[in-house]
């Protein structure tokens, strides 16, 4: 098969994957030539951060357990002051997107190397993207300065992640891979990773919903999330992510749940413009892709409609207007009535409207 022209940019990172890999943290700190590690976490995960500090012994100089959602600038600056006062020479972040975001924010200000131990399926550890919030506004930028040097994926660190959070976090990850398949910068390397990631997560998430400590399923999910993070950090996104950003910002909706609900509908909207992608998705999802994703969300017990998240009915029209306010790339042109209908179905929890049939 002859490939079309493409550009692929890889992001350097050392990745360690397995069960019990947390034990390798001291070796990785030493490998970086570091002597003074500052461990970062959220308040809820302070105990995990303290365990890592104990593991590092005299190579740990402190714990900052103040990470919160959306990476507020004041928290970032406070953590940076702590890192400087302790003369830290490496950052160790344990947790999900909030802690990873804080580590990136401190690295942006100090250029300190980072080691990340993810405990969710957020994928931020694989991207050069950082978003910080100040005065109610979120500013996002992409810079190689915030890429972690080392990521330690330890399946054991995810075993106690609640099933509900696991499911929607995993669906959020799948959304990164789905949109990577039809991104403007799509290329065969990322597409291969995306399909593998979607398949791994689609297999794992229903098992985790029933057996949260199933190690093979947790391993599949974490592996898939890693690949989804690579997709997110390598190519641009399209309609799905634009809609979720609009809905989340306008109605203060929870991030992962919003992605879970919107994804089947956004994919169905784009389906007529991406028949090849839909064929590929069918091979890994085992059925018509939009409905397969809708059914996957039901299998993990996720909310079906945006109304369940608190979005008011009158918000549908406003969200459609907002989604079209700033032009952006999408494989299918944006049509206001169709976008409004998409949001209305997502609000009501209905099945996606599919206008695609498998090509033979």
Tens of pLDDT, residues 45-97: 999 999 999 999 999 999 999 999 889 999 999 999 999 999 999 999 999 98
pLDDT at residue number 134: 84
Do residues 195 and 335 both lie within one domain? yes
pLDDT at residue number 1: 45
- Last residue in a domain, options 158, 187, 219: 158
pLDDT band at 302 (very low <50, low <70, confident <90, very high): very high
pLDDT at residue number 344: 97
Residue 249, pLDDT > 90, answer: no
Do residues 263 and 183 both lie within one domain? yes
pLDDT digits (tens, 9 = 90+) for 284-299: 999 999 999 999 999 9
Residue 359, pLDDT > 60, answer: no
In a domain, 359, yes or no: no
pLDDT at residue number 6: 76
Provide, rounded to the nearest whole percent, the portion of the chain with pLDDT above 90.
82
pLDDT at residue number 47: 96
Do residues 328 and 261 both lie within one domain? yes
In a domain, 264, yes or no: yes
Do residues 181 and 324 both lie within one domain? yes
Give, to the nearest 10 degrees, the angle between helix 289-299 and helix 163-181: 170
pLDDT band at 255 (very low <50, low <70, confident <90, very high): confident
Do residues 174 and 35 both lie within one domain? no
Q: What is the mean pLDDT of residues 224-239?
A: 93
pLDDT band at 5 (very low <50, low <70, confident <90, very high): confident
Do residues 142 and 188 both lie within one domain? no
pLDDT band at 131 (very low <50, low <70, confident <90, very high): confident
In a domain, 360, yes or no: no
In a domain, 6, yes or no: no
Do residues 177 and 127 both lie within one domain? no
Do residues 308 and 268 both lie within one domain? yes
In a domain, 9, yes or no: no
In a domain, 153, yes or no: yes
Do residues 217 and 141 both lie within one domain? no
Residue 12, pLDDT > 80, answer: no
Do residues 125 and 189 both lie within one domain? no
Question: For position 118, which CATH number holds?
Answer: 3.40.50.1970
In a domain, 358, yes or no: no
- Last residue in a domain, options 106, 138, 158: 158
Do residues 31 and 144 both lie within one domain? yes
Buried b (16+ CB within 10 A) or exposed e, 160-183: ebebbebbbbbbbbbbbbbbbbbb
Range of the domain at 258: 163-348
Q: What is the mean pLDDT of residues 174-191?
A: 95
Q: Regarding predicted confidence, which is higher, 112 or 136?
A: 112
- Last residue in a domain, options 124, 142, 158: 158
Mean pLDDT of the chain: 93
Do residues 176 and 273 both lie within one domain? yes
Instruction: Tell me how many domains the chain contains.
Output: 2
pLDDT at residue number 168: 96
pLDDT at residue number 163: 95
In a domain, 356, yes or no: no
């Amino acid at each position: 098969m002859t490939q079309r022209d493409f550009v692929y940019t890889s992001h350097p990172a050392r990745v360690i994957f397995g069960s019990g890999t947390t034990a390798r943290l001291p070796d990785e700190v030493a490998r970086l030539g570091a002597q003074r590690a500052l461990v970062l976490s959220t308040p809820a995960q302070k105990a995990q951060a303290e365990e890592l500090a104990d593991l590092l012994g005299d190579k740990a100089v402190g714990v900052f357990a103040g990470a919160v959602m959306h990476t507020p600038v004041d928290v970032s600056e406070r953590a940076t002051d702590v890192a400087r006062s302790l003369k830290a020479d490496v950052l160790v972040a344990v947790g999900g997107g909030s802690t990873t975001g804080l580590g990136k924010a401190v690295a942006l200000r100090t250029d300190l190397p980072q080691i990340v131990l993810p405990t969710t399926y957020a994928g931020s550890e694989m991207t050069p993207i950082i978003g910080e919030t100040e005065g109610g506004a979120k500013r996002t930028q992409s810079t190689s300065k915030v890429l972690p040097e080392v990521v330690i994926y330890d399946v054991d660190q995810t075993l106690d992640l609640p099933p509900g959070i696991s499911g929607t976090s995993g669906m959020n990850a799948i959304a990164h891979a789905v949109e990577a398949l039809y991104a403007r910068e799509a290329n065969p390397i990322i597409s291969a990773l995306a399909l593998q990631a979607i398949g791994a997560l689609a297999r794992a998430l229903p098992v985790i919903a029933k057996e949260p400590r199933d190690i093979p399923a947790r391993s599949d999910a974490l592996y898939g999330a890693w690949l989804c993070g690579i997709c997110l950090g390598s190519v641009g996104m399209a309609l799905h992510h634009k809609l979720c950003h609009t809905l989340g910002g306008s109605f203060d909706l929870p991030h992962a749940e919003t992605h879970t609900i919107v994804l089947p509908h956004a994919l169905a909207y784009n389906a007529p413009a991406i028949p090849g992608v839909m064929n590929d998705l069918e091979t890994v999802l085992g059925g018509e892709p939009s409905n397969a994703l809708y059914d996957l969300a039901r299998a993990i017990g996720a909310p079906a409609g945006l109304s369940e998240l608190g979005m008011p009915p009158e918000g549908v029209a406003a969200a459609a207007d907002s989604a079209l306010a700033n032009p952006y790339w999408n494989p299918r042109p944006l049509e206001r009535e169709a976008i409004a209908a998409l949001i209305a179905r997502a609000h009501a929890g209905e099945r996606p409207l599919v206008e695609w049939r498998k090509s033979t």
